[in-house]
Structure 1
Amino acid sequence: MRIRKVRVQNYRSIIDSGEFDLDSDKTIMVGPNEAGKTALLQAIQHLNPPENIKKLNPLRDFPRAQYSKIKLGHVDPSKVRVVEAEFELDDHDREFLPEGMKDANYVLWRNLDNSTGNRLSNAPAKPTFSDIEKDLKRLASHIETRFVPTEENETESPTSQLSEITDGWPPNEIIEGQKSESLLNWLESIFNLVDEDDHKQEERFDRLKYEISISTLRNKAVHYLRERVPTFVLFSNYFRVRPLIHLNQLASRIANGSLDDERYDYGNVCLLNLLGFDAKELSDMGRAPEPDASDPEALDAFRAQLDERQYLLNSAEVNLTREIRSVWNPDENKGEAAKLRLRADGQYLKVTVEDDLGVEVELDQRSEGFQWLVSFFVVFFAEAEGDHKNAILLLDEPGQSLHALKQREFRKTISRLAANNQTIYTTHSPFLVGPDELDSVRVVEMESRETGTKVHTSVTANDPAALLPLQEALGYDLAQSLFTQKQNLILEGLTDYWYVDAVAALLRDSGEAKLNDKIALVPANTAGKVIYFATILHAQGFKVAALLDSDSAGEQAAKQETLIHTLGKKNILRTKDFLRNPIKSSEIEDMLRETLVRIAKSQLGWDIEKTATEQPARSVVSIFEKEITDFSKYRLAKAFLQWSRDHTSSELTTDERDQWKSIISTINNCIK
């Protein structure tokens, strides 16, 4: 079960965030300081928080400027919704759901008084009396003709029984609870009177039985799903693992319930959990008396006990070292070798780091970023195998103390975590936002305290500071590609980059075609800027090609003498040259024409299928622009990106695959 979309209201700086969707693996919340990113994560956690999290408090959590409304009794906290989310169910969740509800989603919310509510969406609605009244009366009339009074029921015909049950019910009365039970009992009592040869009445009986049961089925389903909601774990301050742990003292604090969970002890307890020991067990091992040398069995048992401790310590340090090195990469950082050592010495458990000379140094003598990384892995691995397995992770500004390039490596770690634990994290670091992850970004901003925190599902904001991390991320990646890749394909814009990258990945995975891995894709922002990028890259001695649309802007750029002189005609590629069917003023979207029309209809509600079929020679973008009021090339490309993650190249049309295989082959040949 993973969150599909969420909305936060009436929480601290958030008046109404607006509903925004979340990716099934990871979602990145970017925005400036004081925009409300942390508040968003805190509110989302209250959907299903761990037991030790403080509950919502109207005094602390309701928007301060409006608190007087609660004090004066104008607002009831039990009716103030703070957070609501719709969850997409996995196969295990759906196994329990009855037929007719297998495609449902689950909605959960929490109110300011900490009460919760839930329901199913995309499921049959609870029927009202008016929905079933006619069928009830027709069924009653049918069985009335087959009813034979007896001494026991001569005054209670099925029709009169039904009238007695439904007496006084208004048309909008929802059929649930006792009403549902009474009608089901009535249906059971008249079952034998339904003519089994009358298929119409048989179907009516079955339909009524199902519709009357919907409320009960829905209630059972939401009760079951409520128990399966993942725990939301917010890491706003990663707990540090200390370099020296006194085992007996820690065991005593655990025993008497005086743990300092907020700071010192939490990371240490996680480390012990990761090792498979508790503090008392390790402490007892450290003070066990030497066995009598004359008792070989006791001596062997004592040695086995100590060996087991050391082997477990060694196993943990190997696994942690492997993970840390995946981010820290000591080969590029002499003096910052990431070989973790765990040593049990009497009552002390020591955490040290072995440098490249083989010298062991206490963890707290390493850099702040290294300490943070070690603590993060210890805490996460311990939690992921414990109460928080399959949890949804909320990471607030992860990796702040890491160097910029370490943050880029840590981004891969977050992706790895998100494969099993849906992850939402906030950042204003451009190095924690990949240029290929912009469709996972949600921009958070707060224009004023009156409007509060807002979340944008597209890369847009009124405050330029909100978009700064994205601009910096793109700028850094572009700079890297400009001066490190010897083979470059220049594209008109970001959406072109997404289409080429996504389709190339689909064809590569299917084995149909492979874009040379050494070719960097460089978005120029507009067709007019392609010439500048081409000139700079060519001047560096790099091999360059450009892919241009065949609209007016692309035509103008393709005819520039400087571009032709720089690249040569064969390295200026045009979308129109690869289309199986000619399209006037074609753009890159026309190379995925049928698929985009289908995706736009199913995911965005943009239906141009009829026009696109009737006008095959017209650019699909021009059709969208004409018929869809809020059309956005960005939203269309983003929808395709999301689609490509869960589908294969076989779901493209034959013409689309052939067109893209042709263009990939041409690109590879142009930039050798």
Structure 2
Amino acid sequence: VEFINYRSISEDALDIEHDITCLVGINEAGKSNTLLALEKADPDEELTVAEYSRHSDGFGDPNNSPELRLWFEPDKDEVAGLKEIFGESISTLLLVKTTDGYRVDFPAIDYKKSKFYTPPALTEGTETQTENPEPTDEATQGIRKKVIEELEQNYIPRFLRFDSVNFNEYFLPQNGEVLISQFIAKPDGMKPIKNLLALGEITDFSVLQANDENKRLIRDTLLNNASKKINEEILRVVWPVESVEVRLSAEGDILKIRLQEKDKTSPFRPDERSRGLQWALAFNIYFLAETKDELQQAVLLIDEPGIFLHIDAQKKLLEKTFPKINESGNQIVYTTHLPYLIDSRFPERIRILEKKNENTIIGNKAWSEGEFGKIPEPVRTALGLRWAELFNIGDKNAIVEGPSDQIILRAVHGVFGKDTTIGFLPAYGYKKFPSVLAIVQIEEKQGFGIVDGDENLETLRKKCATVSIPEDRMDTIPTLTNNPAIITIEDILPEDLFRQAVFKVYNPLCLRRRNCSVTETEIPAGYPRVKKVEEFFAAKFHAQKHNFAKMEFASFCRSEDGSAGGGWGEECRAVRAKSAKPRRLLVQSRTPKKSFVFLLPARRSLGAGGEEKIRRAQNQKCEQNFSLVWRALASGGGAGRQSFRSKWVRAFSNKGHHVGKVKEFWFASLRSATNLYWILGVKKNWRFCKIWFEPMFFRNVGNSERLSV
């Protein structure tokens, strides 16, 4: 979505993921304005002149209008219908919304092939007419109007905004009671009750009215069963306090809703529980019920969800409730300041909003170029958390250079991998590999660095040695794949999938330019691929230099389960199943302590004896689980090794007399140690180097605090 002169957004664009998009930024950065702008894309909403940006030169002119440019990629089941409307197959649709409504800017309508075209009737005294006559201006105007109406009714998704702070209208009645007769008369006026009963599979509300003993017994049985279903539905998804359950009952004309602790007999009214519990109950009841009914295939705009929840409940909201909402075809765009609602495992979802010269700037990347120097925004937001929580460090970790590498390997590994315990951590720059490996070692986990072939591996290994990290804990992609031509993560992908993803990224960019087009077959796939593509599109765009759109490219392999949304999952499975001769090869590293599986792009890259290598690899793959990292031997770490953490703490505790008054220091990754910038005022001795991942400073830290830092 491109925003032009809307409130604080003078001109910028937001890329919306197929599932979840997270907007983060400081107060007044423009997060709420972005949601308001997206809400205006809804067919039932209208743009107004009053929303025109005050920072624009045209502010105050009643003839000027804010503008939303909406780029859509049709689903497979929409392609046929759109072809009937436009008269030709389309892959991209551009709708522009102003104060006058929608208009179609791309593609052009083939009026004579559109289903709305009607050939003109014969005029009086004319026996024949010209074959396929050109439609008149009046006819084309009528066709355009019908196309817009059809798109509004059947194709443009709903954009619905929810203010999570002011969510009271979705709360259950505070006293937990409602008159059944009033509810049956106007159930839509009591949405929380209606949705709660829907989760309990009660849709015939007449059963709630019981005039005799037999009907009362039936009603009590239905409400008891409904209570069990509601608790199963909500507890299975997310619930802040798992010991609390919902209990439904009825007395006469009163329906009672109580919250009861397990194994306790005294129930509570909703207003007797915390606001966080009431909010979680309201949020889940509404969305879990509505997504089974009317809330489907929509873009849900949620402002500050989970602000009343504790940390574990925030995690469940992100990991359980949101994916459940996605199952109904909904896309979620939400804003947050909460670190536990920023999932660094999926950097492609994160959008950073900043304010510059009173204008909102939307960053569609997961890191910032600000004063902290390329610190990942989720990390900066969540400073102070444990490293393992901060980086989602697991037992087995593959460290890669950037988030695009993380996304590609995570998706490909999700298709071919069998070891689900392996996680991929971005170092956000090759110079920070030693720092991340040190953090992994401090957490007593296993880690291995996968370095691009054009980086200086020996320099990184020397830095790793300063913190007792063995040199075999990282290696380059050419070495791991046994192919010196393969330099980056993009090079390991099969050629056809690489071309397909590049085409999906750059075809819309070419369509927006005059006299520019690109086909999938002309995209270069030679090594090194990134450099070749940059040169190709620099010439295509008549530019001196072009930077490869890595994050956009990586987003087309983000679907780990092969679901829709641009993912490569299904294509990868199809390629794997196409032939018994695999395109992928198990390659054993020259280092005897570990072995790797990497994807090789084609058989021809194997050189002489390629078929025999493939045969051996196939047999070996049948015996071993797919793993993109290592199988460490006992000598590589574990209980037999003294932990890095214990060495570090003992060094400081034994040398406390070396510490003087602590000054302010700014540390920049491992360079701090190598340049003898000493943390906590320790005198110059290499044994006391402390490696910190990102810039921080400490002032007057006491001796007792040092050991816990």
Say whether the fold is shared (TM-score over 0.5). Answer: yes
Q: Report whether the alignment pairs 1:232 with 2:159.
A: yes
One-letter identity of the residue aligned with 1:437: F
Matches within 5 A, 1:127-146: none
SS in 2 for 1:371: helix
Q: Report whether the alignment pairs 1:101 with 2:88.
A: yes
State the match for 1:502 in structure 2.
411
Instruction: Give the Cα–Cα distance (whole angstroms) in 1 for the partners of residues 439 and 177 of structure 2.
Output: 61
Instruction: Give the Cα–Cα distance (whole angstroms) in 1 for the partners of residues 522 and 97 of structure 2.
Output: 43
One-letter identity of the residue aligned with 2:98: N
Matches within 5 A, 1:139-158: none
SS in 1 for 2:231: helix
Instruction: Give the Cα–Cα distance (whole angstroms) in 1 for the partners of residues 396 and 220 of structure 2.
Output: 51
| Residue of 579, 597, 607 corresponding to 1:662 | 597
1:576 CA drift (Å) = 1.0
Instruction: Give the Cα–Cα distance (whole angstroms) in 2 for the partners of residues 417 and 176 of structure 1.
Output: 35
SS in 2 for 1:86: strand
1:126 CA drift (Å) = 5.1
Instruction: Give the Cα–Cα distance (whole angstroms) in 1 for the partners of residues 399 and 92 of structure 2.
Output: 42
Instruction: Give the Cα–Cα distance (whole angstroms) in 1 for the partners of residues 334 and 342 of structure 2.
Output: 10
Instruction: Give the Cα–Cα distance (whole angstroms) in 2 for the partners of residues 47 and 666 of structure 1.
Output: 42
1:207 CA drift (Å) = 9.6
Name the % identity: 22
1:361 CA drift (Å) = 2.1
1:593 CA drift (Å) = 6.8
State the match for 2:350 in structure 1.
441
Q: Structure 1 residues 646, 14: closer, same or farther in 2, change over 3 A?
A: farther
Instruction: Give the Cα–Cα distance (whole angstroms) in 2 for the partners of residues 646 and 630 of structure 1.
Output: 31
State the match for 2:571 in structure 1.
647
1:36 CA drift (Å) = 2.2
One-letter identity of the residue aligned with 1:44: L
Q: Structure 1 residues 545, 215: closer, same or farther in 2, change over 3 A?
A: same
1:34 CA drift (Å) = 1.8
Q: Contact 1:104–1:122 at 8 Å: present in 2 too? A: no
Q: Report whether the alignment pairs 1:314 with 2:220.
A: no
Q: Structure 1 residues 68, 323: closer, same or farther in 2, change over 3 A?
A: same
Q: Structure 1 residues 621, 475: closer, same or farther in 2, change over 3 A?
A: farther
Give per-residue Cα distances to partners, 1:99-129, cap 9 Å, x unaligned.
Answer: 54342555555434xx4224373354558xx
State the match for 1:75 in structure 2.
62
Matches within 5 A, 1:52-71: 58-59=49-50, 61-63=51-53, 70=60
Instruction: Give the Cα–Cα distance (whole angstroms) in 1 for the partners of residues 534 and 341 of structure 2.
Output: 34
Matches within 5 A, 1:402-441: 402-412=309-319, 413-420=321-328, 421-441=330-350
Q: Contact 1:494–1:523 at 8 Å: present in 2 too? A: yes
Give per-residue Cα distances to partners, 1:229-266, cap 9 Å, x unaligned.
Answer: 333322113221124355349828976x9x9x7xxx55
Q: Contact 1:124–1:214 at 8 Å: present in 2 too? A: no
Instruction: Give the Cα–Cα distance (whole angstroms) in 2 for the partners of residues 231 and 483 of structure 1.
Output: 34
Q: Contact 1:328–1:338 at 8 Å: present in 2 too? A: no
SS in 2 for 1:364: helix
Q: Structure 1 residues 275, 35: closer, same or farther in 2, change over 3 A?
A: same
With structure 2 as the length reference, what TM-score do the two structures score?
0.66
Q: Which protein is bigger by CA-based radius of gyration? A: 1
State the match for 1:631 in structure 2.
547
State the match for 1:577 in structure 2.
479
One-letter identity of the residue aligned with 2:151: L
1:372 CA drift (Å) = 0.8
Q: Contact 2:179–2:253 at 8 Å: present in 1 too? A: yes
State the match for 1:8 in structure 2.
3
SS in 1 for 2:409: helix
SS in 1 for 2:27: coil
Matches within 5 A, 1:558-577: 558=461, 562=465, 566-567=469-470, 569=472, 571-577=473-479
1:30 CA drift (Å) = 2.0
Instruction: Give the Cα–Cα distance (whole angstroms) in 2 for the partners of residues 210 and 645 of structure 1.
Output: 47
State the match for 2:615 in structure 1.
none
Q: Contact 1:251–1:280 at 8 Å: present in 2 too? A: no
Instruction: Give the Cα–Cα distance (whole angstroms) in 2 for the partners of residues 593 and 564 of structure 1.
Output: 38
In angstroms, what is the RMSD of aligned CA positions?
4.6
Q: Structure 1 residues 308, 108: closer, same or farther in 2, change over 3 A?
A: farther
1:318 CA drift (Å) = 2.6
1:406 CA drift (Å) = 1.4
1:342 CA drift (Å) = 1.6
SS in 1 for 2:301: strand
Q: Report whether the alignment pairs 1:591 with 2:488.
A: no
Specify every segment of 5 or more residues in structure 2 that has no aligned partner in the other structure, as ranges. Answer: 510-517, 539-544, 559-565, 588-595, 599-625, 635-709
State the match for 2:430 in structure 1.
527
Instruction: Give the Cα–Cα distance (whole angstroms) in 2 for the partners of residues 210 and 564 of structure 1.
Output: 78
Give per-residue Cα distances to partners, 1:589-625, cap 9 Å, x unaligned.
Answer: 3222734354224422598987956xx5x53334345
Q: Structure 1 residues 307, 555: closer, same or farther in 2, change over 3 A?
A: farther
SS in 1 for 2:437: helix
Q: Contact 1:35–1:446 at 8 Å: present in 2 too? A: yes
Instruction: Give the Cα–Cα distance (whole angstroms) in 2 for the partners of residues 671 and 502 of structure 1.
Output: 27
State the match for 2:654 in structure 1.
none
Q: Contact 1:444–1:455 at 8 Å: present in 2 too? A: yes
Instruction: Give the Cα–Cα distance (whole angstroms) in 2 for the partners of residues 41 and 82 of structure 1.
Output: 15
State the match for 1:138 in structure 2.
none
Give per-residue Cα distances to partners, 1:11-52, cap 9 Å, x unaligned.
Answer: 443333x233322222222222222222222232233366xx
1:395 CA drift (Å) = 1.2
1:549 CA drift (Å) = 2.4
Q: Contact 2:68–2:96 at 8 Å: present in 1 too? A: yes
Matches within 5 A, 1:189-588: 190=128, 205=131, 220-228=146-154, 229-236=156-163, 237-238=166-167, 239-248=170-179, 251=182, 266-268=191-193, 270-271=195-196, 281=206, 284-285=209-210, 288=211, 290=212, 303=214, 305-328=215-238, 337-359=243-265, 360-412=267-319, 413-420=321-328, 421-449=330-358, 452-459=359-366, 468-469=377-378, 471-472=380-381, 478-480=387-389, 485-508=394-417, 514=418, 516-538=419-441, 541-558=444-461, 562=465, 566-567=469-470, 569=472, 571-579=473-481, 581-583=483-485, 586-588=487-489
Q: Structure 1 residues 82, 601: closer, same or farther in 2, change over 3 A?
A: closer
Q: Report whether the alignment pairs 1:29 with 2:23.
A: yes
SS in 1 for 2:2: strand
SS in 2 for 1:28: strand
Instruction: Give the Cα–Cα distance (whole angstroms) in 1 for the partners of residues 102 and 523 of structure 2.
Output: 44
With structure 1 as the length reference, what TM-score do the two structures score?
0.69
Q: Structure 1 residues 347, 189: closer, same or farther in 2, change over 3 A?
A: same
One-letter identity of the residue aligned with 1:657: R
One-letter identity of the residue aligned with 1:13: S
1:414 CA drift (Å) = 0.7
State the match for 1:90 in structure 2.
75
Q: Structure 1 residues 477, 27: closer, same or farther in 2, change over 3 A?
A: farther
| Residue of 104, 111, 115 corresponding to 2:98 | 111
Specify every segment of 5 or more residues in structure 1 that has no aligned partner in the other structure, as ranges. Answer: 1-5, 133-174, 194-204, 291-301, 509-513
Instruction: Give the Cα–Cα distance (whole angstroms) in 1 for the partners of residues 91 and 136 of structure 2.
Output: 17
